[in-house]
């Protein structure tokens, strides 16, 4: 199984969620993060003191899927989150040894 960590723009969340659901993915876990990268940040100004904020708000979607579905999911996320402008984000694929569903104790792909 694979854990896909998808860092995307905040307003892409809805689309990515739907794209993954379309592939039969039943669950995911989302968190608000701040991204630093090629995309430049913004300036803030408070009584003459200028701050450059390098971070831009991003959403990280973590989703664990079976090995067979992983590639498809990557493509789906990419399609849903792509605008072509700098700052679209990344997908990191990390190996997962085991998954447990807390409610039932099921493990492996059955637990996803």
Partner 1 sequence: MRGLLAVWGSRLRLFLGLCFLVVPGAAGADELNAGDTAWMLTATALVLFMTLPGLALFYAGLVRAKNVLSVLMQCFVSACAMTIVWIGWGYSMAFDTTGMSEGTMNLNSFVGGLGKLFLSGVGADSMTGTIPETVFITFQMTFAIITPALIAGAFAERMKFSAMLLFSVMWSTIVYAPVCHMAWSGPGAFFWDLGVLDFAGGTVVHINAGVAALVAAIMIGKREGFGQVPLPPHSLTITVIGASMLWVGWFGFNAGSALAANGSAGMAMLVTQVATAMAALTWMAVEWMKHGKPSVLGIVTGAVAGLVAITPASGSVGPMGALAIGFVSGLCCFWGATTLKQKLGYDDSLDAFGVHGIGGIVGAILTGVFASESLGGLGLAKESIGAQLGAQLISVTFTIVYSGVLSFLILKVVDVLVGLRVNEDEESQGLDLALHSEQGYNMEL
Ligand X SMILES: Nc1ncnc2c1ncn2[C@@H]1O[C@H](COP(=O)(O)OP(=O)(O)O)[C@@H](O)[C@H]1O
Binding site for a copy of itself (CB under 8 A): 2-3, 5-8, 17, 26-38, 54-55, 58, 60, 62, 64, 74, 77-78, 81-103, 105, 111-112
Pick the closer one to ligand X by CB: 40 or 51: 40
Residue numbers of the site for ligand X (CB under 6 A)?
Answer: 7, 26-29, 35-39, 56, 58, 62-64, 86-90, 101, 103, 112
51 binds partner 1 (CB under 8 A): yes
Q: If 0-12 CB within 10 Å is exposed, 13-18 middle and 19+ buried, where does residue 19 land?
A: buried
Q: 């608000």: which residue's tokens?
A: 32
Q: How many CB atoms lie within 10 A of CB 78?
A: 17
Asked if residues 27 and 111 have their Cβ atoms less than 8 Å apart, the reply is no
Q: 């998954």: which residue's tokens?
A: 99
Instruction: State the residues that interact with partner 1 by CB under 8 A.
Output: 10-11, 14, 32, 42-51, 53, 57
């Amino acid at each position: 199984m694979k854990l896909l960590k998808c860092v995307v723009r905040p307003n892409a969340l809805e689309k990515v969620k739907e794209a993954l659901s379309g592939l039969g993915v039943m669950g995911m876990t989302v968190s608000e993060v701040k991204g630093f990268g090629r995309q430049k940040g913004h300036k803030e100004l408070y009584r003459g003191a200028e701050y450059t904020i390098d971070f831009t708000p991003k959403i990280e979607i973590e989703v664990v899927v079976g090995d067979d579905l992983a590639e498809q999911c990557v493509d789906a996320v990419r399609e849903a989150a792509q605008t072509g402008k700098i700052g679209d984000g990344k997908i990191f694929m990390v190996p997962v040894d085991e998954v447990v569903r807390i409610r039932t104790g099921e493990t492996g792909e059955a637990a996803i």
